[in-house]
């Protein structure tokens, strides 16, 4: 699922998509990948674009893998 990070806390990630918001549960097994390299949930930024691979477990969406890129560098004047 593609979207924009609305919020991220220790155990939850909320992503806004074109179909609304989706809340994912983060687990110790959730993988985070930033620019193709291993990362952590702390590397996620609000308003950053993400791709979340999830699975439904116990009635909730569990994030299996979260992929994102570093924000673009500010343009020099």
Q: Give the per-residue pLDDT at 73.
A: 64
> Mind listing the pLDDT tens digit for each residue in 16-75?
999 999 999 999 999 999 999 999 999 999 999 999 999 998 899 999 999 999 766 667
Q: Give the per-residue pLDDT at 8.
A: 95
Q: Give the per-residue pLDDT at 75.
A: 73
Alpha-carbon distances, residue 65 vs 11, 16, 40, 76, 77 (angstroms): 14, 17, 11, 34, 37
CATH 2.40.50.320 describes domain 2-68: yes
Q: Give the per-residue pLDDT at 20.
A: 94
Domain ranges of the chain: 2-68
């Amino acid at each position: 699922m593609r979207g924009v990070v609305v919020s991220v806390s220790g155990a939850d990630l909320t992503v806004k998509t074109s179909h609304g918001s989706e809340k994912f549960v983060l687990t110790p097994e959730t993988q985070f990948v930033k620019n193709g390299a291993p990362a952590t949930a702390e590397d996620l930024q609000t308003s950053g674009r993400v791709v979340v691979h999830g699975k439904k477990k116990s009635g909730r969406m569990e994030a299996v893998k979260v992929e994102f890129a570093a924000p673009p560098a500010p343009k020099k004047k």
